[in-house]
Amino acid sequence: NTGWNLISVPFAPVDDTVDAVLQGANTGTVWQYGGPERAGYDPAARLEPMRGYWVFRSGEPITIIITGRPVPDTHVAVVPGWNLIGPVAPFPYAAFEPDWMVHADQVYLPPVQGYADGRYFVAPTLQCGLGVWVKFLQGASIDMGPPRD
């Protein structure tokens, strides 16, 4: 979309460089959050699954087709404090509520916050392709994939 976008990649791209994944859709630098210990942003050279990224686009909204493969391990390490993360899932990339969101009191401080159309919103589920802000109570390894049956 035009303006700032909080994105994620729901699988492992064949070529994970910013230029290959975004195909020129970004205007300027793509930013990743350095974590609570750095409390700042760093330029991203690669777009990795399970992380969130800030991308600015000055042109008209476009759709990007990315090729990749499923992520074999859907767990990601999070640290106490704010984390900018994104879900992973197989096609058709439906929205879902991972197990750690169901047990909020044990892992994170609700709400999970997404960003779209120039504003933050409460994200009741995770949507593949979108990044979210989550404030974790402690360091942990969390599953960013959909619940398993």
pLDDT tens digits, one per residue of 41-51: 999 999 999 99
Pairwise CA distance, residues 61 & 84, whole Å = 23
Residue 106 has pLDDT above 90, yes or no: no
104 band by pLDDT with thresholds 50, 70 and 90:
low
Percent of the chain with pLDDT over 90: 69
Short-list 27, 14, 5, CA closest to 65? 14
Q: Are 79 and 86 in contact (CB under 8 A)?
A: no
12 band by pLDDT with thresholds 50, 70 and 90:
very high
Summarize pLDDT for 61-74 with one digit per residue, the tens: 889 999 999 999 99
Residue 54 has what pLDDT?
A: 97
Pairwise CA distance, residues 116 & 110, whole Å = 18
Residue 25 has pLDDT above 80, yes or no: yes
Residue 142 has what pLDDT?
A: 93
Contacts of 67 (CB under 8 A, 6+ apart): 13, 14
